[in-house]
Chain A
Amino acid sequence: MFDPRRFGRLAAVQWTEHRREYLWFFGIGIAVHACSWFVLTEAGMRPELYDLGEQFFVYWLGYAVTALIFAGRQVSMLARPESALTWLMRPASGFEKFVLMLLMVMVAYPLLYALAFQVCNLPATALAVAADNAREAAPSERYMGPYLPFATAVRPAEEMGNFLIVNTLQAVVLAGLLYFRGLSWLKTLVAVFVLVVIALPLLVSVTDANPRTLIPGLVDVPGGFAVDAWRWTLWIGVPGLFWTSVYGFLRDRELT
């Protein structure tokens, strides 16, 4: 079912065929990031306000948006019969193709995004530090250094929570795009909306109107069996369920 040699070959083909697309994706992402920062500063945002908190916000907002698009693009070839045929007929097991997709979305993308973010963030923080030092008033005590996810200990629990939320949404997007035929993005968005509408009241009632307690380590509240059970369900069970359905839909995919 899983042959490392064949998997390596599959990964090499994936990289060879899509590397331009990946480079374009990151290039556009970096350009959008740089332009946004430039526009915001031109519009009156003082550079020295770009402290760690701001970087944290920008990083995770950018990650949430681009990671979902990137995940969706992993199955975009299946939307066209010609490219779907090539992909489906490639001699590798469905599991190997799924694992490759999982690694791309869960491991490679976060690492590359973190790297690409620094391309914009390092010059921006340098400008922010210079602006902060140039002020007549004494330099602020805020941390102005660059934000490194999971390394600059800001809010590690929140970082992990954000990562898991985005990861779950990626699985939902992939499952939706693989399940729905025609207008799959729109149908997936509607499905996500419906899921949120159903899940929110449930989470609010379970957590006594404080869903943040479900993020381990974020809120200092006594756990208890019920909260712990919900945490496990939410962070392991739900993503696991969606990723399993991604595998199922991928394996049973027919040519449209």
Chain B
Amino acid sequence: MTGQDHTGPGSHFTTGNAGVIEIEGLRFGCGRKALYEGFDLRVDSPGLYGLFGRNGSGKSTLLKLLAGLLFPRGGRIRVSGHEPRLRHPDFLAGVTIVPEEFHLPNLSCERFVRHHAGFYPRFDRAVLDEALATFEVDSRAPFDSMSLGSRKKAVLAFALATRTPLLLLDEPTNGLDIVERDRFRDLIRRPEQADRIVLISTHQVHDVDQAALARVDGVVYQEAIGAQAAFIATRNDDVIEPVQLELLYRALCRAPETVVATLPAKEVSHV
């Protein structure tokens, strides 16, 4: 719900042991508008997570908070043991974020990679080459000569190749045609991406349903439910099918309390 608070702890999704994303009592707002008020979230197993919400509900803001680009007004955020706001080099080398709108210098993809790959210890050139080939991006062409879609594909390919433990994608399929969305879906589900947390923010289930996330490991749904928020997650083996996902999302938008009441406790927790 646009502009409403996301409140209440109890959002916990775990199937593994290593803590990666921990949010406790997050408070954040834009001006006087509160976006998060006591928001809790814990994601500690690798997987592909969708972050859904309406326009202005704070999806991109949450990604920026996790990346240390915005600082919480209260509460605590930890990502792989680091406090994001400190922007420690080890933390930055472990997080890749692809924003909806991005800046690229006027270099060729090849040159960009040559200078930036060294920052990421697990950077995989083979993954990059495969992604660029899949997306049909010419790595020798300068970014300025590319279309918006091609630039986005180059950025996505680089993000996939960094293999950082946390990958944050904000509306990754915006600007991509249907074919490219399918390709992106294939790439993001490759085995080499399986050991990282991929958090994808989108405001259209349609995108997720149709192409990007045909199968998801977990769903982080942030939406105000009165004075509380719900977090919905499934285990890796409880894969949500696209149709179920869309139905769930629509139902949550219309009658969240009813949906939450009917879901199993292991999948939904709210206070």
B89 & A82 in contact (Cβ 8 Å cutoff): no
B103 & A89 in contact (Cβ 8 Å cutoff): no
* Complex CA–CA separation, A20 to B116 (angstroms): 18
Specify which chain A residues have a CB less than 8 angstroms from the CB of B99 in the assembled complex: 82, 85
From A11-19, A51-59, A120-128, the one touching the partner chain is A11-19
A89 & B67 in contact (Cβ 8 Å cutoff): yes
B237 lies within 8 A of chain A by Cβ: no
A93 & B103 in contact (Cβ 8 Å cutoff): no
For the complex, count residues of B whose C-beta is within 8 A of A.
27
For the complex, count residues of A whose C-beta is within 8 A of B.
28
A85 & B69 in contact (Cβ 8 Å cutoff): yes
* Complex CA–CA separation, A90 to B88 (angstroms): 10
With contacts A89-B95, A93-B88, A255-B64 known, is A9 near B118, CB below 8 A? yes
Additional 20 contacts, C-beta under 8 A, given A3-B89, A9-B118: A6-B89, A9-B115, A13-B116, A16-B105, A16-B111, A17-B107, A80-B103, A82-B101, A85-B103, A86-B102, A86-B103, A86-B104, A89-B67, A91-B93, A91-B119, A91-B120, A93-B87, A93-B89, A251-B87, A255-B70
A9 & B119 in contact (Cβ 8 Å cutoff): yes
A81 & B95 in contact (Cβ 8 Å cutoff): no
Q: What are 13 contact pairs spanning A and B, CB under 8 A?
A: A6-B119, A9-B118, A16-B107, A17-B105, A20-B106, A82-B102, A85-B103, A86-B104, A89-B92, A91-B92, A92-B89, A92-B119, A96-B89
B213 lies within 8 A of chain A by Cβ: no
With contacts A16-B115, A88-B69, A90-B119 known, is A81 near B106, CB below 8 A? no
* Complex CA–CA separation, A9 to B97 (angstroms): 20
- A70-84 interface (Cβ within 8 A of B): 77, 80-83
B71 lies within 8 A of chain A by Cβ: yes
Specify which chain A residues have a CB less than 8 angstroms from the CB of B68 in the assembled complex: 88
Q: Kindly identify which residue among A80, A85, A92, A94 contacts B97, using a CB–CB cutoff of 8 Å.
A: A85
